[in-house]
Amino acid sequence: MLGMGDWKPSMSPEEFKNRTKAYGLRIVRLFEALPRREVSQLLGRQLLRAGTSVGANYRAACRAKSRADFVSKMGTVEEECDETLYWIDLLVESGQIRQSRVAGLIKEGDELLALVVASINTARSRSQSASPDPQPATSPPPSATPNPQAAIRAPQSAIRNPQSAIE
């Protein structure tokens, strides 16, 4: 659990893109380090797919056409991040890899998931508090454009060294 002192006022979309990309690269390294047993490789491929899609789907969310589109795309990021943690848990609990080897990845996955959920909640609350738009439907109001920078909060410790190895 993160303490209040671990939170930075905000993280730009570029910083969060870099962080999710670094997470994906750590997942790639983990996959490459897995034993060559059939079960390890099967679970590892699932992990690889989910873990690398976190950053890819966040990039898509940054290109959202509306706040509702942003929330929807961030929902996909949330699902992929949670699924990544699931595959890591299965690898550990099935004895394919030691918990200590992936503790850093689990921590980062938990933090990313919390940031994504907070971002979704912020975007939803801003949508609900927005006043009805008098403009025509063909021209979305400026308030409909998502602002991921304002919605994402990040722990400073994760920003210091996002390129760290698996742990």
Residue-by-residue DSSP string for 48-85: HHHHHHHHHHHHHHHT-SSHHHHHHHHHHHHHHHHHHH
Spatial distance between the Cα atoms of 147 and 92, rounded to a whole number of angstroms: 37
pLDDT value, residue 130: 67
Arithmetic mean of pLDDT over the chain: 81
Range scoring the smallest mean pLDDT among 11-15, 70-74, 150-154: 150-154
pLDDT in tens, 32-59: 999 999 999 999 999 999 999 999 999 9
pLDDT above 70 for 6:
no
CA–CA gap between residue 163 and residue 87 (Å, rounded): 21
Question: Nearest 5°: phi and psi at 57?
Answer: -75, -30
Length of the chain in terms of residues written: 167
Calculate the CA dihedral of residues 59, 61, 65, 69 and round it to 10 degrees. Answer: 160
| pLDDT band with cut points at 50, 70 and 90 for residue 20 | very high
pLDDT of residue 166: 52
- Residue 70 tokens, joined: 């942003």
Distance from C-alpha of 15 to C-alpha of 136, rounded to nearest angstrom: 35
- The answer to whether residues 34 and 41 touch, using CB atoms and an 8 Å cutoff, is yes
Give pLDDT, residue 129: 77
Residue 106 has pLDDT above 80, yes or no: yes
Distance CA 67, CA 85 (A): 27
